[in-house]
Amino acid sequence: MIYVKFFASVRERVGVGEISLLMPEGGVTVEEVLSLAEDETGVLLQDAHLLAAVNLQHVPFSGVVHDGDEVAFFPPVTGG
Amino acid sequence: MAEMAAYPVDAIAGAGGSVTFTGTVRDYSEAADILAMEIEHYPGMTERELERISAEAARRYDILDSLIVHRYGHLAPQDNIVMVAVWSRHRAAAFDACRFLIDLLKTSAPFWKKEVTLAGARWVTDCPGCRAGGREGHTHAPYTHYSHTQLK
């Protein structure tokens, strides 16, 4: 399984904070996890400003995702 | 309302001084007066990012210790949001590291602000000027800070 989390405006658009996806055979990239999440939720999330993390670390969309990983999608951060 | 200490301070012997930065909730935005601010974070990743940037500051600057406290949840105008403190033997390193930490926190630590106004609530969008480190061609004049578009 891949555990996908959404935060802030992305979470509100999706309607839930977390979903899980079946791990496809052959491995996936963050970009592909995003497409799977869009299929699962029916919400388009592609956005030039969207950011991603895998296992609590910032990653590019080309990053590799393994079975059991936690993948998060969120807008640019605005703390401080 | 909880607070997070990413880097507990217990040893600052030898320090010649400290620099602190405290950020507060503004009471204005582009469109309306702010009634409240909701701050969301990513439990687990947020703490990890604060630890990562603290370690990076320690690598780059000759400092003895640092502390970051960032609030989340429901805040009111003029409440403190964030505090960064740095201890060092000499002042220059503390000033530089404090600036480095708050600049990096604003672009990497997973926190998201939502303004609550009489007209409703809306997510604050990130500021390109802040993303660039806030050092070039970048001012936050009253009533323009959250409009952002003129900064692009």
In the prediction, which pLDDT does B145 show? Answer: 34
Specify the CATH class of A2-74 in words: alpha beta
Which two tokens mark A28? 């996936």
Q: Across the interface, do A77 and B131 touch by the CB < 8 Å criterion?
A: no
> Which residues of chain A have a CB within 8 Å of the CB of B131?
76
In the prediction, which pLDDT does B147 show? Answer: 30
Taking the complete model, does pTM exceed 0.90, yes or no? no
In the prediction, which pLDDT does B108 show? Answer: 96
Q: Across the interface, do A76 and B45 touch by the CB < 8 Å criterion?
A: no
Q: Which residue of A has its CA nearest to B102?
A: A80
d(CA B130, CA B112): 14
User: Among A11, A51, A73, A78, which would you mutate to test the B interface (most chain B Cβ atoms within 10 Å of its Cβ)?
Assistant: A78
Predicted confidence (pLDDT) per residue in B45-92, tens digit: 999 999 999 999 999 999 999 999 999 999 999 999 999 999 999 999
DSSP for B50-109, written as a single string = HHHHHHHHHHHS-EEEEEEEEE-EEE-TT-EEEEEEEEESSHHHHHHHHHHHHHHHHHHS
Place of tokens 């079975």: A67
What ipTM goes with this model?
Answer: 0.95
A16-36 mean pLDDT: 95
For the cut 70, the answer to whether the pLDDT of residue B31 exceeds it is no
Q: Across the interface, do A8 and B131 touch by the CB < 8 Å criterion?
A: no
In the prediction, which pLDDT does B144 show? Answer: 32
Domain ranges of chain A: 2-74
For the cut 50, the answer to whether the pLDDT of residue B148 exceeds it is no
Q: Across the interface, do A57 and B45 touch by the CB < 8 Å criterion?
A: yes
Instruction: Give B90 to chain A, closest Cα distance, Å.
Output: 26
A48 C-beta neighbours (distance < 10 Å), count: 4
Query: Quick one: CA dihedral B103, A57, B81, B63, positive or negative?
Result: negative
Predicted confidence (pLDDT) per residue in B106-139, tens digit: 999 999 999 998 888 999 987 666 666 555 545 4
Predicted confidence (pLDDT) per residue in A41-61, tens digit: 999 999 999 999 999 999 999
